[in-house]
Structure 1
Amino acid sequence: MTIRFKRPKVRGTVGPAGIATAVLWLSIIVLLPLAALTFASFDEGITGFWDAITAPTAIASLQVTVGVSVVVALINAVMGTLVAWVLVRDEFPGKGIVNALIDLPFALPTIVASIVLLALYGPQSPVDIHLNATRPGLVVALLFVTLPFVVRSVQPVLLEVDRDVEQAAASLGANNWTTFRLVIFPALAPAILGGAGLAFARAIGEYGSVVLIGGNIPRLTQMSSQYIQQQIEIDRPTNAAAVSVVLLAVSFAVLLILRLVSQRSLRRQAASV
């Protein structure tokens, strides 16, 4: 009896060579560095890895990082959607400038944001608001660097929302809130979740914007990125790599869950059409 294996068919426009090039590029840029990081985190064995991630200061930094990042993602989900709505549905003087400012955190070095926030909300605050070395200061800094994610995720979806459905709902007596909740929000939900997930992933690994305004106080305002830097400075690269792997795992898990939820929501919408 002869067993024959079917050769998998490759479909698309670039062909096998293009797919192989893309996979090779991703391997060099992403997979190999991540594999090296994971390998380095186990230099002292599983016991050493466990001791590194369960050290009290490591756990405290992870708690601060995850807690602050969740708050930032939630705020972005609300305010980012509002900003996207204003940019798409409203007309006002200077709209083009505001739209361009949304992408500024992508172009601006994040350490500049930390310097500006320290000057504005530090000990010598000209507005008498002191956020230096506080968790609200971390939140403000991370909100600055994660601003574009939800806005840019929601904008194109909002542009494609069928306005006729909204008008039909209004003609049936639905108020603005009911129309948004039952007609618009289901279409925006996958984009909001995706943008919030990206904001969370960016916040969880951010360093530059929090390095000055945060104060780097262990168990209070020390982010995991600052803890990792500290471990490298005291010549404990294995501990730094171990905590980095935990951050990587948390970010990947959150993005994977949000992707699955978004795909499920899109399938439901397609089935209901």
Structure 2
Amino acid sequence: MKSRKKRVLPGFGLSLGFTTLYMSLLVLIPISMVFIETSQLGWVRFFEIVTSERIVHSYKISFATAFAAAAVNAIFGLLVAWVFVRYSFPGKRILDALIDLPFALPTAVAGITLTTLYSTNGWIGHLLEPLNIKVAFTPLGISLALAFIGLPFVVRMVQPVLQNIEKEVEEAASSLGASRRQIFLKVIFPQLLPALLSGFSLAFARGLGEYGSVVFIAGNMPMKTEIAPLMIMTKLEQFDYAGATAIAVVMLLISFLCLIVINIIQVWSRRHELGQE
């Protein structure tokens, strides 16, 4: 008789059962309850809430600032990861550890700190005021707060991929006459692109639902700096739970659509990279 191969983890059926139960309790059931609660409104009332001028403007602010912050983080997060991987300098480990600070720092503390720094009488804000640059209580301030909490996602996604890139490939391209720019664009960047898109999507998704670090620096001025999570909280404070879930449903659907598009781009980039190989 052939001895059965021992597995460290349970079999497929038991593992799948635990996975399904865990995902149902933490993800599927809470999301389904959002839709169930919203269904009590009816289609007419639902569209009245989610298409009101104030709510639509909050959607625009949330998605525009989250996208802008994620795009900035994609650029500077790549640069930060590059410096940490390719160079050695005093204090490198300390700076590397500080990248994860937004994960541990309470979001309200981050919001208060940024507001204090960038208000008109803050350390940085009073230097920008003569240049007619206002950060606090503007969409720019919201983007700054979202960039702060989203940077670790990009750095931590790109950093391990950059570490695994074989330097022999770069040396081979250099020996064939490729310039530094060509090596980066043709050899390094295609390998980093899937990880960079993953970091961008995570930072974007986090920015859409962020509340604590944004609510202070935004100022919450109607039709100017109100974000969608703030409108949800306003509905909840008014005990309008169905209205809050209606806004949440729209945010959920649009976020899901954006993530699908990003994942499609990721798949395309991977296939394009394999096709070149």
Same fold (TM over 0.5): yes
Match of 2:43 among 35, 42, 46: 46
How far residue 264 of structure 1 moved from its aligned partner, in angstroms, is 2.6
How far residue 256 of structure 1 moved from its aligned partner, in angstroms, is 1.9
> In terms of mean alpha carbon deviation, does 212-221 or 40-49 score higher?
40-49
1:46-195 matched pairs, under 5 angstroms: 46-127=43-124, 128=126, 129=128, 130-195=134-199
Q: 5+ residue gaps in structure 2?
A: 1-8, 129-133
| Aligned match of 1:19 | 16
Question: What do residues 139-189 of structure 1 show as CA deviations (whole Å, max 9, x unaligned)?
Answer: 111111111111111111111112111112222222211111111111111
Distance in 2, matches of 1:30 and 1:202, equals 16
Question: What do residues 167-216 of structure 1 show as CA deviations (whole Å, max 9, x unaligned)?
Answer: 12222222211111111111111111111011110001100001111001
Q: 5+ residue gaps in structure 1?
A: 1-11
Secondary structure in structure 2 of the residue aligned to 1:219 = coil
Secondary structure in structure 2 of the residue aligned to 1:265 = helix
The code of the aligned residue for 1:79 comes to F
The code of the aligned residue for 1:59 comes to V
Distance in 2, matches of 1:260 and 1:78, equals 21
How far residue 270 of structure 1 moved from its aligned partner, in angstroms, is 2.8
Indicate yes or no: 2:259 matched with 1:247.
no
| Aligned match of 2:240 | 236
The code of the aligned residue for 2:237 comes to E
Distance in 2, matches of 1:13 and 1:156, equals 30
Distance in 2, matches of 1:126 and 1:73, equals 25
| Aligned match of 1:5 | none
Over aligned residue pairs, what C-alpha RMSD do you find?
1.4
Indicate yes or no: 2:29 matched with 1:32.
yes
How far residue 17 of structure 1 moved from its aligned partner, in angstroms, is 0.6
Distance in 1, matches of 2:77 and 2:10, equals 35
Distance in 1, matches of 2:190 and 2:10, equals 33
The count of corresponding residues between Structure 1 and Structure 2 is 262
TM normalised by structure 2 equals 0.91
| Aligned match of 1:4 | none
Aligned partners of 1:76 and 1:196 also within 8 Å: yes
How far residue 19 of structure 1 moved from its aligned partner, in angstroms, is 0.9
Question: What do residues 111-137 of structure 1 show as CA deviations (whole Å, max 9, x unaligned)?
Answer: 000110111112421231452211111
Aligned partners of 1:111 and 1:208 also within 8 Å: yes
| Aligned match of 1:8 | none
The code of the aligned residue for 1:117 comes to L
| Aligned match of 2:3 | none
Distance in 1, matches of 2:45 and 2:276, equals 52
| Aligned match of 2:231 | 227
| Aligned match of 2:207 | 203
| Aligned match of 1:260 | 264
Distance in 2, matches of 1:13 and 1:170, equals 49
Distance in 2, matches of 1:134 and 1:267, equals 41
How far residue 13 of structure 1 moved from its aligned partner, in angstroms, is 6.3
